[in-house]
Amino acid sequence: MPAPERIPPGSVAPADSGLLTVLAKGQLAVRGRVREASNAVLYCGIEYDGVSASCVYKPVAGERPLWDFPDGTLAQREVAAYEISEATGWRLVPPTVLRDGPYGEGMCQLWIEAASEDGDAADGGLLALVEDEEPADGWKAIAFAEVGEGRTALLVHADDERLRRLAVLDAVINNADRKGGHLLPTADGKLYGIDHGVTFNTQDKLRTLLWGWAGEPLTAEAAQVLARLASDLAPGRPLATRMAELITPAELEALRGRVAALRVTGRHPEPSGEWPAIPWPPV
């Protein structure tokens, strides 16, 4: 029997329907666990019809209860974030499906191998701490952070088009946990965001490191994407029907409301002051 064709991590276009079939129907083999995660995150190999890949499997049974999200819904929210990402055309979330696995139903997502610019930083050089009052050209200020011995430094992120798109996506899906470790730049210049379990809440929960554009006008591209999303999320449209399978009716209405609000203001959102604006730990 010939060896299965191997899919290098992150090398396949996220919209590839064949890859989604592999993720949805392939045989999962658990190889390890990502122990830094707060919920069960299993690193797996997957094989289907002569094609193999690496993926992450997050079983619903391994989710820890949260006070502000319904129990057993994080996997569905991860898939919902992928659906919205695909609808934008930006493809910022790795291919993600909901399926049964060795430990029951869960989220299955293509494993993305991050490539850092300096060979060390997990975020690929997209974040930095600087001992200046203002960010240098090409960088956006996030906040001042304590770095020990009574010293502070300015936390900044790159003024990068990929990050700016991700900031818009996070505002749309109401991402409550955009940490630096959730940014995965790849060797071919793409950027993916991962870990979208705490999204789509009906209340404003936006908590992110990507505040550098807060209050600034949205790009023309973002305005076009939001207009298309508004149309695609109208009742009866395929995307709206799919989202109704993954989040509650109230959450779907809140999603439509966030898209509408962004279109009205035409600006990146600012921290509400009613919720911690930056996740902890930030990276």
Q: What are phi and psi of 42, to 5 degrees?
A: -110, 130
In a domain, residue 121? The reply is no
Q: Average pLDDT of each block of 10 consecutive residues along the chain (283 residues)?
A: 49 63 96 87 94 95 93 97 98 97 97 68 73 89 77 90 98 95 92 97 96 97 98 98 98 98 98 84 69
Is residue 16 located within the same domain as residue 153? no
- Same-domain status, 20 and 149: no
Say which residue the tokens 């276009």 belong to: 13
pLDDT attached to residue 6: 53
Provide the domain limits for residue 149: 127-158
Q: How do residues 145-201 score in pLDDT, each as one tens digit?
A: 776 666 788 999 999 999 999 999 999 999 999 999 899 999 999 999 999 999 999
Q: Is 187 left (phi over 0), alpha (psi -120 to 50) or beta?
A: alpha
Residue 270 forms part of a structural domain: no
Do 75 and 170 share a domain, yes or no? yes
**β-pair type (51-59, 5-6):** parallel
Regarding whether 174 and 150 lie in a shared domain, the answer is no
Name the residue among 17, 100, 89, 87 with its Cα closest to residue 57.
100
Q: Based on the structure, what is the number of domains in the chain?
A: 2
Residue 241 within a domain: yes
From residue 276, alpha-carbon distances to 90, 104, 119, 268 in Å are 27, 34, 31, 17
- Mark whether 259 and 151 lie in a shared domain: no
Query: Contact 94/65 with Cβ under 8 angstroms?
Result: no
Query: What pTM did the predictor assign?
Result: 0.91
